[in-house]
Every structure is written in C-alpha cells, then in structure tokens.
Amino acid sequence: MIALKYIMVTGGVMSGLGKGITSASIGRLLVDMGYKVVPIKIDPYINIDAGTMNPFQHGEVYVLKDGTEVDLDLGHYERFIGVELTGDHNITTGKVYRNVIEKERRGEYLGQTVQIIPHVTDEIKSWIRRVAKESGAEICLVEIGGTVGDIEGMPFLEAIRQMKNEEKPEDFLLVHVTLVPLDSSGEQKTKPTQHSVKELRSIGLQPDVIVGRCARKLEEGTKKKISLFCDVPVEAVISAEDASDIYEVPLMFREEKLDEYIISKLGLERRESRDDWENMVKKLRNLEKEVKIAVVGKYVDVQDSYLSIREALKHAGIEAGCRVNVLWIDSEELEEKNVEMDVDGILVPGGFGKRGAEGKIKAIEFARENDIPFLGICFGFQLAVIEFARHVIGWSDANSSELAETTHAVIDLLPEQKQVDKLGGTMRLGDIEVTIKPGTIAHKLYGKEKVYERHRHRYEVNPKYIPEFEKRGLIFSGYSDGGRRMEILEYPKNRFFFGTQFHPEFKSRPYSPSPPFVGLVKAALGEF
C-alpha cells in the first residue's frame, strides 16, 4: 500500500484557462496507469454551493449523486476519471467558514480568538485529508479555483503551503497552469507565466510542473525559457495547446510525457497501460456520418450553461458513429416568429422560470407535428406535457402552476409540497430510483426496469390528468415514489418523442453514453 499522494493544481494570469480539464486529464492518466484517484474542487466563492448561481455568469449547475449542486468542473472529473462524487468533494469558502463558525459557537476552540491561520487553514487541510482517506484512493487531486493573487483564494493557498511542508516531498506535487500568449508577430511570450510563478513563490509555493496554455504547441525555446526563469526542469514544462476536442487533452499530456514525470516525481510506477480512452478518442476522430440537433434554450449565448447536454450529445454520437452538430436556438426569439427548423432532431433542456417557455413549447409542437425526433429534459419534459395538453387534448389554458394561474395545472406541486414549499425548499435533487415499464421505448433504451438518475426540479406532472393523457396516446413509461411521480414520457405515434423528468446528461460518459441521448441521435440518423 503506497502512502497517500497529493497533486495540487493552481492557475495564474487569468481564469478560464482550463484548470478543470487539466486536472481531469491528469486524473485520467493516473487511472490509465492503474491508480485510484479522488478529485476535490476548491471554489473560493462565499456561496455554500453553486445552486443559486446564474448560468449566464457561471455556466451550468452540475448535480452530484447526493444532490449537491456544484461547479461544472466536477462534471469533467466524473466524465474523465470515471468516479461518482458527493458534496464532500467540493469545498467552498462558504462551507469552510460555516464549519468554523459552528465549531466556535459550540465552544470547540476553547475560548481562542478564531483566525484565518490556524483555524480556517486547519479546517481546509482536515477536509482535504478526510475526503482523501475516506475515499480509499491512492492519489488525491485537488484543483484550487480562481487565480493566484485572488484575495478570496489566499486561505486555500496558505493551507496548501502548510500541507506541502507537512507531507513528505515525494507525496506532494504542485501543478501550475498559466497562459502563454502570442504577440502580434506570433511569438510565444513567457512573461505572464514568470509573473504568475513569482506571485506563487511569494506565498511560499514553488511549482513542480508548469502547464503552458497556448494557441500553439510550446516551442522548445519557450519551454527552456520558462524552465530557466521559473526554476523547473524542462521536462516539467508541459505544452497544452488548443485541442480539437477536450477528450484529446489526456493524450496530448501523454505525448508530453507528463504521466512519466508525475509518477517519477511521486515515486510511483506504471502498473498497467489501459487504452480505453485512446480507443474512444480514435472513434471520435473518425466519425463519418453527421446529424444536426437543435438545442432550444434560454441560455444559449453561454454554451457552458448546457455543457453536460453538449457532452452527452457527443457521447451518443460516438456510440452511434456520427458527429453531432448542435444548432443553438434562443427560445425567446421563437416566441415572436413561426418555427421552421431544418434539423434532424430537437432537444429542449431544463431551466427555471417563464422566460422563453412559450418558445420552447412552439419548438416541441413543431417536433411533434412534423415527426422530428425529440428529447425533452426536466423543464423540457414538463413543457412537452403542456404542449400535448393544449394541442392534442384541447385544454388551451393548460400550463404549469410555476408559470401561471390556470384551470388546467397539468404541472403542479404535489399536495405535501404546497404545505411546506419555500422557493427551492422542496427541490428534488440527486439520484432517485426510477421504475421503467416493460415493453416501452424507455425499456428498449435502458434494457432494465430499475435505473438511478439525477434530478433537479420541484414541480411534477399533476396525477389527476394522467388517465386523460394516456387515453390520448401520451405514455408515462417511467415513474418513481410508488407511481406518484412521472419520470419518463413517450409518444409512440412518432418515430422518437421522448422526455425525462430527470437529467440523464449528468450520468453520461464518453465510454458509457446516456440511453435517452443515444435514442435521440440514432433516431436522428433514422436508425432507431
């Protein structure tokens, strides 16, 4: 049994450089060498979690199996490393300070003056070590969000500095991700990296590895310059040029021999050489067929708002042997015009609130009436119920009680929810068991009668209307809570008209795609 190893990933110069992809790719390399890896994401913001954050500003809210709402980077970890995480794997300033204040109120600090050092930093260190130990992993991979020099990140970097001194040198590795920009003549400039490393050193941290993000592959001269000025070996300066796809990054790092350097520095050995990831990427590179899928949402200007949707479509494409070209359509714009889409499939994702809802309903009606393969997710599932009620059954005022008062609230809170509801207070979050009816499209897709899928919603299909829906041909083929909550709908009259109350995209992996997405893409190909 090897001693627990820690790999810390920091970033400099600017945010959005790709620390999450870098961390996930390092994790993938270690998994391919036979090691068990546990990732942790540190988010220095004061929010307890990402649940209340605006997707326009922060990208999608990713939901873990225990229902914790987190930053989208944890989705990258799950997809790349092949792990299922919980809220313990996401540390925020809000969580740390809440724990420290609760301990102070209980008297656990024995009357001491509670300070950033040592109390907050001790809380951070103990959290990291506890999660690493409880996971049974051999390597703990920690990404510190933000950039070096951010005020809110200082306690975390100080905690990391302390850990570096407390762990054996061969058990601790620091990876620093920086920007290597090109000037107007195309020359790679190292000064931003030099300043970033200088800032890191000023707080007592020296990087062991520098990952240089650049539009082009780092030249040998650039690597030597970074090595000289930042005091790392040339072989520890790793090129992270722009990739055609994020799933290429682990292979790029392998070409740079980052995996060999890491195991050498940590005193490890390569146990095995798995090529599953490489084989998946080869399939991705050689997709011959193409389909066009319209994603109709209200956050399409910030495509990270639908990152897991985009990746799940890609995964399904790998499985089906085709490239999925996504056409992003603003649902608000559809409200003011007739819907005409030259696409092979339509997907309406989740989202809260009435803005853009009527545009999504128009897109669903267009898909149903023109027999275009359709997948509705969460709110998209609910709007498909509303569209059917209005245009097939004839309840023109059908709606969700979340959106408007109506005599036909086909989407509503259940009675017990109404008694205790506060905004978000009755949210269903995380893994919930779904029962699938045999002989349905859902059963054909999943191949089983019990599945666990992740949820993030409050409102439900109103049970009193279900008999009328099924009488008119809309089938609810999946349910939970003893049949009280509808989870999957399908309309067998169409080639593929499918909806899920849950978010199947959160469990989709490039080597294990989500069944509803595979169904949509294959139907778009005419192969379902």
* Nearest one of 94, 168, 65 to 503, comparing CA atoms: 65
287-525 belongs to CATH 3.40.50.880: yes
b/e per residue 10-46 (b: at least 16 CB within 10 A)? bbbbeeebbbbbbbbbbbbbbbbbebebbbbbbbbbe
In this structure, which CATH number among 1.20.1440.60, 1.10.8.60, 3.40.50.300, 1.10.10.10 belongs to the domain 7-280? 3.40.50.300
* Residue 243 to residues 16, 220, 324, Cα–Cα distance (Å): 15, 19, 18
C-beta of residue 250 within 8 angstroms of C-beta of residue 18: no
pLDDT at 422: 55
H/E stretch holding 287 reads none
C-beta of residue 173 within 8 angstroms of C-beta of residue 7: yes
Domain map of the chain by residue range? 7-280, 287-525
pLDDT digits (tens, 9 = 90+) for 409-433: 999 998 877 776 555 567 899 999 9
Look at strands 139-144 and 37-43 and give their pairing. Answer: parallel
pLDDT digit string (tens) for the chain, length 528 residues: 678 999 999 999 888 889 999 999 999 999 999 999 999 999 999 988 887 777 666 678 999 999 999 989 999 999 999 999 999 999 999 999 999 999 999 999 998 999 999 999 999 999 999 999 999 999 999 999 999 989 999 999 999 999 999 999 999 999 999 999 999 999 999 999 999 999 999 999 999 999 999 999 999 999 999 999 999 999 999 999 999 999 999 999 999 999 999 999 999 998 888 889 999 999 999 999 999 999 999 888 777 889 999 999 999 999 999 999 999 999 999 888 888 899 999 999 998 888 889 999 999 999 999 999 999 999 999 999 999 999 999 999 999 998 988 999 999 998 877 776 555 567 899 999 999 999 999 999 999 999 999 999 999 999 999 999 999 999 999 999 999 999 999 999 999 999 999 999 999 999 999 999 999 999 999 998
Amino acid at 239: S
pLDDT at 421: 58
pLDDT at 154: 96
pLDDT at 367: 97
> Which residues carry out catalysis?
378, 503, 505
For residue 156, give both structure tokens: 């975390």
Instruction: Look at the chain and count its residues.
Output: 528
**From CA 482, how far away is CA 466, in angstroms rounded?**
15
Q: What are phi and psi of 276, to 5 degrees?
A: -55, -45
H/E stretch holding 238 reads strand 237-241
DSSP structure string for 6-63: EEEEEE-SSS-SSHHHHHHHHHHHHHHTT--EEEEEEE-SSSSSSTT--HHHH-PPEE
pLDDT at 283: 95
